[in-house]
Amino acid sequence: MNETLIPLNCSIHDVLCVMMDNLQDTNLPILKIAENAGRLMRPILQANNAIRSKSNVAHHYDLNGRLYSLFLDRDRQYSCAYFTSDEVTLEEAQLAKKRHIAAKLKLDRPDLEVLDIGCGWGGMALTLAKEFGAKVTGITLSEEQLAAARARAKQEGLEDRVNFELIDYRAMDRQFDRIVSVGMFEHVGAPNYETFFRTVKSCLKPDGVALIHSIGRFDGPGATNPWIAKYIFPGGYSPALSEVLGPVEKAGLRTTDIEILRLHYAKTLAHWRRRFAANRDTIASLYDERFCRMFEFYLSGSELTFRLSDHMNFQIQLVRQQEALKLTRDYMYDTERRAAQLASAAE
């Protein structure tokens, strides 16, 4: 970031590729010591109460709104896309992600009420309303995202079907037919997992369905990279499934489906990194060169963590009653195909 380390005749991405590839065959005691120290500090570093959570969100998501439009897809999906093939565009992969998640929510009748926890710029909520006839309440702690999401709902004539609120998930006291959360669970913090899932249960109707989409890790519990925690996502943590399922069980929820998305986020980040590079001069004019170097380090390091290290994405489908869903997963695939066909016919 401060140019005290300068890549010669290559990019920082090339440097990180070599370093992280070599780390796969290295067992340095100092790395284990650092990780264990990080785990011991988690109760402090991830004590994300309502006030601290809002501050953490503002640190990353309340940046200049134009920044994200310069490297994300048109819908500003800031989470892992779903690549059905290597040939699809980022826009196509993000739309496929939304439909993939919607299929798991079993939106099988109109006017189902959906709670979107961590709604971002509103893309998921608007898609669920437009394509699946849902009535969506999106909640966020980002004032920038809230304003943009509300403006989009008004522009698309969906104000009667989509409502966005500035509220912490712990303050929600209504029940919904469906609950979705995409890319928000990473900001909850391990000490708050039980509270999160108890909130999901209390906000979910008895016959409801919830879907949590999050970054995770294959290699068991760990600690957030200190640089990421300081400069990019304070209070953030990507959990192992072993840390998630215990709180799910304690909350009294039933896990009905788990899917691991391998390498999809590496592909997503590669798209973001290329788009960032293509718009680097504009981004530098919004901030400065140091910010650009910081963001390049973040995007490259994150991509390689998914490609060469232990990170992945998981989607967990949850219910209160086992009878809420059909016995096989066929309805998911049928819903995805039907949504794609209807969209294609409407074009």
Q: In this structure, are residues 206 and 320 in contact, taking their beta carbons and an 8 Å threshold? A: yes
CB-based burial label for 271 (10 Å; 0-12, 13-18, 19+): buried
Task: Determine whether domain 12-120+176-346 maps to CATH 3.40.50.150.
Answer: yes
In the numeric block, the tokens 């120290």 are attached to: 37
Q: Residue 200: its pLDDT value, please?
A: 98
Question: How far apart are alpha carbons 327 and 315 in whole angstroms?
Answer: 18
Residue 62's pLDDT is 61
Q: Residue 115's closest CA among 138, 141, 142, 89?
A: 138
Q: pLDDT under 70 in the chain at which residues?
A: 25-26, 30-47, 51-53, 55-62, 346-347
pLDDT attached to residue 256: 98
Give the mean pLDDT of the chain.
92
Tokens at residue 313, please?
């994405």
* DSSP for residue 144: H
State the residue for tokens 């039907």: 338
- Please name the residue ranges forming H helices in the chain: 12-23, 29-40, 42-45, 50-61, 65-69, 90-105, 123-132, 143-155, 193-203, 226-227, 241-251, 264-278, 280-286, 289-308, 330-346
Instruction: Give pTM, 2 decimals.
Output: 0.91
Q: Enumerate the domain spans of the chain.
A: 12-120+176-346
| CA 123/CA 294 separation, integer angstroms | 27
- Which tokens is 113 given? 């009420």
Query: Strands 135-140 and 113-117, how do they pair?
Result: parallel
- In this prediction, residue 64 carries a pLDDT of 72
Q: How far apart are CA 282 and CA 85, in angstroms?
A: 31
Give me the pLDDT at residue 342, please. 80
